[in-house]
Amino acid sequence: MELLRAVVLLSLALLANGRDTDLSRDSFPKGFVFGTASSAYQVEGNSLKYGRGPCIWDTFLKFPGATPDNATANVTVDEYHRYMDDVDSMVRVGFDAYRFSISWSRIFRNGIGRFNKDGVDYYHRLIDYMLANNITPYVVLYHYDLPEVLNNQYNGWLSPKVVPDFMAFADFCFKTYGNRVKNWFTINEPRMMAWHGYGDGFFAPGRCTGCRFGGNSATEPYIAGHHLILAHAAAVQVYRDKYQRRQNGTIGILLDFVWYEPLTYTVEDEYATHRAREFTLGWYMHPITFGHYPETMRKLVGSRLPNFTAEQSKLVQGSADIIGVNHYTTYYVRHHENLTHMSYATDWQAELLFERNGVPIGRQAFSKWLYVVPWGFYKAVMHVKNKFRDPLILIGENGIDQSGSDTLRTRSTTPSGSTTSTSTSTS
């Protein structure tokens, strides 16, 4: 593991320093894991078939304008039927691992209660075929797709009732698949779920101040985020208490982390950059590491930020064997106070920018928000290492996107990887 740490950091350091390197699989140490990732709702299709109940995205996408061309996930790539083809493709590409999520409403149509045998058997087939082809499963329990029935019953992540329901779902998955799955993640990107689901209405369930589904952008992201981290911690406790010793696996959480760099080296922009880091990664890593929210958040959000009880703090602190970091790009940050309205986004008192003095922060990929910034990747990983007591880190997602007609030069895209990658390190 120490060799792995040294080589990973050396590779990132070369990228950060702008060295002209030709990286290949041979550049990485033996045991380095390369993989790809998806979410259940993105790839499975058959969203209302084979006993699966609707999730919040099925309801959200009924309203025009939620996606380009009003697309839904009723078909997608139909991995439910074509999982063998997908795994065969992973083998041909040379991947070692596949990070996929389990659809909660495919296992429990009503969120809790009687399980759906068709759904349970599908994941058995997928996992068994992966293992037969030497593809290691990395399983995410929750990737944005809450069963719609729980949203209707008690407003989903806005209610503390979701915590024991998620814990029961997690318990079932550990018991059912844990004899073959040794790499678990509770939740993918809880910050994105809390903000876009309850702050700007961009994700299901589409709540925000002024949104068609109602909401309050100043309070609900923090409430949802609080229940997400409590649900994560409760699931981890179940795994550790009942399954980890005999199943010999690990469990963690996946957190998104754009790197934030001050636009200028003034005190104002330095502080704004600190706030950006605390309101994103720190929102979840600080409780997991220290048992409470960052002081910066508590000071700026005040009573709108929920508090952990002493018991909850004990539950949350240390609730991860491994931290998954999903990193894509880097932003410049400058101080900016928005006094027109109160929300999670304005609480940072920061503005995000892609260029400094007319010079882009990096080469732009296909998406408008995605710039290739290798040194930001290095700084992001080192920030997690140095600020949060050197946790075991896994790069859960990284890379760039391109249009279907683009042909990218190998050397120019190498720093970001090809698609998504899974690389275990202690960096």
Active site residues: 189, 397
Tokens standing for residue 277: 């880091």
Residue 170 CA to residue 313 CA, distance in Å, equals: 21
Other CB atoms closer than 10 Å to residue 401's CB: what's the count? 12
Name residue, tokens 């940072």.
Answer: 348
Task: Report the amino acid identity of residue 272.
Answer: A
130: left (phi over 0), alpha (psi -120 to 50) or beta: alpha
Dump the DSSP string for 240-305: IIIIHHHHT-EEEEEEE--EEEESSSSHHHHHHHHHHHHHTHHHHHHHHHHSS--HHHHHHHGGGS
CB neighbour list of residue 214: distance below 8 Å, 6 or more residues apart: 207
- DSSP states of 137-194 as a string? EEEEEESS--BHHHHHHH-GGGSTTHHHHHHHHHHHHHHHHTTT--EEEEEE-HHHHH
Q: Which residues of 341-362 are buried (b: 16+ CB within 10 A; e: fewer)?
A: ebbbbbbbbbbbebeeeeeebb
Phi and psi of 360, rounded to 5°?
-60, 150
Tokens coding 319:
């609730």
Quick check: 174 and 128 in contact, CB under 8 A?
no
- What gap in Å lies between CA 172 and CA 106, rounded to an integer? 13
Q: Which two tokens stand for residue 108?
A: 């429990």
Q: Is the distance from CB of 360 to CB of 216 less than 8 angstroms?
A: no
In this structure, are residues 137 and 100 in contact, taking their beta carbons and an 8 Å threshold? yes
Q: What is the Cα–Cα distance from 347 to 253, expressed in whole angstroms?
A: 25
Cross-strand partners of 268? none
**Contact between residue 217 and residue 208 where contact means Cβ atoms under 8 Å apart:** yes
CB 233 within 8 Å of CB 316: yes
